[in-house]
Amino acid sequence: KAGVTQTPRYLIKTRGQQVTLSCSPISGHRSVSWYQQTPGQGLQFLFEYFSETQRNKGNFPGRFSGRQFSNSRSEMNVSTLELGDSALYLCASSRGGGNYGYTFGSGTRLTVV
Amino acid sequence: QQQVKQSPQSLIVQKGGISIINCAYENTAFDYFPWYQQFPGKGPALLIAIRPDVSEKKEGRFTISFNKSAKQFSLHIMDSQPGDSATYFCAASEPSGTYKYIFGTGTRLKVLA
């Protein structure tokens, strides 16, 4: 079956701009989580959605937001981009949550210049 | 209390040898412990996972050993192969209801041919 699909794979944005990243989970998976991966901070939890509801949010500023649609597809948005937002953004899906094991996509590599 | 400490940071093993990666945690409420394997340019892939009521789990060449009293768990890769060269992350899932993984900082494994 198809895995977790993230688009686009690569993005280059300028400071101050905003960006929207997209994630299509595995069919039947209703939980979608987002993580930021950087060499310095590693993998850090951004937020998790289930049935269009945000169930948990990590320690990121309000510039980071997300949403989930009725078909479980999810988007995350980062407004007023800063250089430090350059990272690999990973989406992961699961049937119901962490204890089912998350399957990750290949990520979107965001570069802010 | 929310950290997962992973060691070593990097590891070089001869082909056919045993690779051992260790993780330690503080929060006794963690209830699911997955290991992920990540190749360059890819997202993390779930390798094997264990729950705290089990002391060992084996899948093929990969084994998790779990020591609840010491709050430590480790990944053993038997008969290590050059194709196992990747970065490995341990993680711990916060208790049900929070839907979030805390990741270790990663171990870069290189298996020499």
List all residues 6 or more positions away from A40 whose beta carbon is below 8 Å from its beta carbon: none
Say whether pLDDT at B70 is over 80: yes
* pLDDT in the model for residue B1: 56
* pLDDT in the model for residue A97: 64
The Cα of A40 is separated from the nearest Cα of chain B by a number of Å equal to: 9
Name the least confident of B74-78, B84-88, B92-96: B92-96
Chain B residues whose beta carbon lies within 8 Å of the beta carbon of residue A48 = 99-100
Check CB contact under 8 Å for A101 and B34: yes
Which of the residues in chain A have pLDDT under 50? none
- Across the A:B interface, residue pairs with CB atoms under 8 Å apart total 66
Which amino acid is present at A46?
Answer: L
- Report strand pairing: B10-14 vs B107-112: parallel
* pLDDT in the model for residue A101: 83
Six-digit token string for B86:
């990747």
* pLDDT in the model for residue A46: 97
Chain B residues whose beta carbon lies within 8 Å of the beta carbon of residue A50 = 99
